[in-house]
Amino acid sequence: MPTQRTAVVTGATSEKGIGMTTAHRYAREGWAVVVLDLDGEAAARVAAEIAEQHGVPAFGHAVDVADEAAVTAAQQAVAAEVDAGRLPPVGALANIAGITSPVPFLDTTLELWHRVMDVNATGTYLVTRAFLPAMIEAGWGRIVNMSSVSAQRGGGVFGKVPYSAAKAAILGFTKALARELGSTGVTVNAVTPGAVDTNIRVGSTDEQEAAIVRDVPVGRTATTEEVAAAITFLSAEDSAYLTGVTLDVNGGSHMH
């Protein structure tokens, strides 16, 4: 990056989450950071911690990624910080906010289907659409979308049909947008983690967790730091020739 830029991270306030780890890793690598989360107070708190620990500008704001008006308000708040000189221009967006759905297909409801699709897939669309124009105008940008190994192998980790469908939609979105933006200086990539040591698998039993680990050739779940490393790698200047990529972070649980 010729100058410091800002990385926007959605879903970044969970203590054991990929989003928070990624926000801190961006800051360690010299990025300014915007923390967007459903809990605005938590987002502001995490941003303050990032600024104090890493000495970079940071800003937190509430957002419901599935709500168009809320996403627009968040983008406008970030733009105001940039215009005031409190943040450098946005150069990266990590779409991490998501929810899972460990419900057998015939027990799902239309409400659950819409909620999982809205947060994971529609949220990725809305947030990307909001922050993309400034990247195109600047001629430089990195968009990294959170998919899942469940999209590639048809579940088999924890989330079932709605989750796998939503995460598969993100892969198609990523590739199509990468192709469309090829000449703009903005790259679009996806990461597909397998089982990660986070709290997204709320309600899982010890037996389920043991079965998940048995299915991983390296014999353990991923750390959030390992997934964050993949996200920041795809956000780097050196990754300019990588676009439309699906980067597997699954310990060998899915090979293709």
Burial, 165: exposed, middle or buried (Cβ in 10 Å; 0-12, 13-18, 19+)? buried
CB 78 within 8 A of CB 59: yes
Length of the chain: 256
3-state helix, strand, coil in the chain (%, to 5): 50, 15, 35
Q: Is 189:249 a contact under the CB 8 Å cutoff? A: no
Other Cβ atoms less than 10 A from the Cβ of 30: the count is 13
Sequence-distant (6+) residues with CB within 8 A of 62 are: 36, 37, 38, 39, 40, 43, 70, 74
Selected catalytic residue, list 26, 125, 163, 241: 163
Active site residue 163: yes
CB 122 within 8 A of CB 160: no
- CA nearest neighbour of 226 among 188, 201, 192: 192
User: Residue 59 to residues 40, 48, 125: CA-CA distances in angstroms?
Assistant: 11, 7, 22
Query: How many Å apart are CA 156 and CA 188, to the nearest integer?
Result: 26
Q: Which residues pair with 33 in a beta bridge?
A: 7, 58
Point out the residues that are catalytic: 163
